[in-house]
């Protein structure tokens, strides 16, 4: 009977450890998901930033072209 009691206590401890393990795993998964979400947000932001930079470059090129044309008109 003593061995039986020891086994029951051991099993309970293992269950508690298992619960703690799964809780830690859930937290770990949540952190990974959060990190992934943050990364996706940053990537989206960078993509938007690149698009804005491209638009600014395009605008500068057209402004420069217009300016050169205006200067050319003044010269002619």
Calpha distance 69→76 (Å, rounded): 10
What domain count does the chain have? 1
What confidence score (pLDDT) does residue 67 get? Answer: 59
Give the pLDDT confidence of 29-65 residue by residue, as tens digits.
999 999 999 988 888 877 777 777 677 666 666 565 5
Give the pLDDT confidence of 18-27 residue by residue, as tens digits.
889 999 999 9
Calpha distance 32→6 (Å, rounded): 38
Locus of tokens 């200067």:
71
Domain that holds residue 28: 1-75
Q: Where are the alpha helices (DSSP H) in the chain?
A: 2-75
């Amino acid at each position: 009977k003593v061995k039986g009691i020891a086994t029951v206590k051991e099993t309970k401890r293992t269950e508690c450890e298992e619960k703690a393990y799964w809780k830690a795993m859930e937290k770990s998964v949540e952190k990974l998901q959060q990190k992934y979400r943050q990364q996706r947000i940053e990537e989206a932001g960078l993509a938007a930033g690149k698009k804005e930079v491209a638009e600014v470059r395009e605008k500068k090129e057209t402004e420069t072209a217009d300016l050169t044309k205006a200067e050319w008109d003044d010269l002619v």
